[in-house]
Structure 1
Amino acid sequence: MTRTEGAGGIDPRVLWREQDRPRRGRRPAFSREAITAAAVAVADAEGIDAVTMRRVAAEVGAGVMSLYSYAPDKETLLDLMIDHVSGELPTSGPLTGDWRADLKTIGRHQRANMLRHPWLPAAVQARRTLGPRTLAFVEHALAALRPIGLDGAARLEIFAQLTSFVAAHVAYEVGQARAAQDPGRAAADAAYLAEVAADGSHPELADALATAGRPVTPDAMFDRFLTRLVDGLDAG
């Protein structure tokens, strides 16, 4: 693969547009798709830090050096992994013409995808280039936003804003789920907040904690936040 001069990484034209060109010589023992799928499986099970070239090579039964012709560094492998899981996102479903409703549906699909792959929220923030599956989803989202009446650049900004929100929220959800695995600590945290609210020094917090609670299931909370974000977008 060809590195981009001075840019630190693989030329995206080589990475994404030349992958399917026929190669001369002996048929390779492994495919880039299989290697990427193995890396995704490791990240899903053990986290992104567990993904190393040596570990992925062991998963597919290859020598470490043979992997470098497919992904010469971990950053490139991560780009491949992001695009691989982007293939799980719908790109051809019918759009309603109601851009707010369609955008909320897109956000829910993104959340489900990131929950299946908890390493993804952090990874998308460091993504360097968009692969073909990711581009197909972006195209779908921009089409959903066409009725908003804004130009393409503004629609792309809205989609980026939605993606950033979903990534941050899923990272929060994953962290909360891990914290909930320690019920003793959760009970201690609740007791601490109750004491703080009762001491009179934080009246606004006390009022918030005393207010009748809304549904706190992960799905209900995400939908409330998503609705506030999307319904607050200015279509003018």
Structure 2
Amino acid sequence: MTRTGTSGRTAGLDPEALWAPAERPRRGRPPAHSRAEITAAAVALADAEGLGAVTMRAVAARIGAGTMSLYSYVPDKETLLELMIDEVAGEHRLPPGPSGDWHADLRHFFREQRALMRRHPWLPAALPAQRTFGPNTLAALEHALAVLAPTGLGAPAALEIFSLLSGFVASHVTHEHAQEAAAGATDRAFHDAQARYLRSAAVTDVCPKAAEALTAPGGTSSPDATFDRLLNRMIDGLTATD
């Protein structure tokens, strides 16, 4: 649970200060770096080496700055992570408004979200730590809630559906990345042995239903088609009303 202080603000993080418009630079020597530059460097580092590689020291080295100087722009790594999440959320291509076909609009929104997470493989792991919504994230949320408006669901239910579908997309992309990594390390002999084992389990009645489900011919489909099929099932189930 997020800790809050006596003022009601999240301890260690002030959303008002974090997302306030940038002040005009004062007279004198201009700052050597900017929060935007630091955020972009952190995103590039995470894209290249993973979220674990993002440290204040590593980001400072990437922009040619001293580690301590970064703290005058970004107070800690947790704040940097918030900035990174909102930065990439700005890549989410949002249409001018809902088309009127909320089901199609919702599919398009979460297809875009999947594409965003595949471009930035660290994003699914970062999202659970997100504690505040920046302007780009809020714009995406606003669009999704506008798309859901014709369903007649109340705001709390629409927000829950948005969260559940976003969680599904993050989980699915994480699985896709893991499968792609495993595919490169798994040889044909393993697949043959796995098939023999499952056939044996089905014949000897050791977990026959599971073995049947895992060996049943289901045809092959592209990753995009698989995602669309699962997404449609999720949308239909979550938006069904009594």
Q: TM-score, normalised by structure 1?
A: 0.91
Of 106, 111, 133, 1:108 maps to 111
Which residue of structure 2 aligns with residue 21 of structure 1?
23
1:168-187 deviation line (CA, Å, top 9, x unaligned): 11111111111111123853
Describe the superposition over 1:89-130 as per-residue Cα deviations: whole angstroms up to 9, x where unpaired: 023344221211111111101100001111101111110101
- What number of residue pairs does the alignment pair up? 232
1:48-78 deviation per Cα after TM superposition (whole angstroms, max 9, x unaligned):
0000101000111111111112211111111
Structure 1 residue runs of 5 or longer lacking an equivalent are: none
Instruction: Give the one of 73, 79, 91 matched to 2:76.
Output: 73
Pick closer, same or farther for the CA change 1:179–1:23 going to 2, 3 Å: same
Distance 1:199 1:98 in 2: 50
Query: For the Cα contact (< 8 Å) 2:82–2:130, is it kept in 1?
Result: yes
Residue by residue over 1:155-211, the C-alpha shift from the partner in whole angstroms, topping out at 9 and shown as x without a partner, is 111111111111111111111111111123853545543443343212112321343
Structure 2 CA distance for aligned equivalents of residues 80 and 186 of structure 1: 43
The amino acid of 1:88's aligned partner reads E
What SS class does the counterpart of residue 196 from structure 1 fall into? helix
The whole-number CA distance in structure 2 between the counterparts of 1:35 and 1:144 is 34
- Aligned residue identity for 1:207: E
SS in 2 for 1:173: helix
How far is 1:234 from its partner? 1.8
* Structure 2 alignment gaps of length 5 or more: none
2:124 to 99, 121, 124: 121
1:199 corresponds to? 204
Q: From 216, 229, 234, give the equivalent of 2:234.
A: 229
Deviation at 1:221, TM superposition (A): 1.4
Asked whether the 8 Å contact 1:107–1:163 carries over to 2, the reply is yes
Q: Which amino acid aligns with 1:21?
A: E
Task: Name the CA shift for 1:143/1:199 in 2 (closer, same or farther; >3 Å).
Answer: same
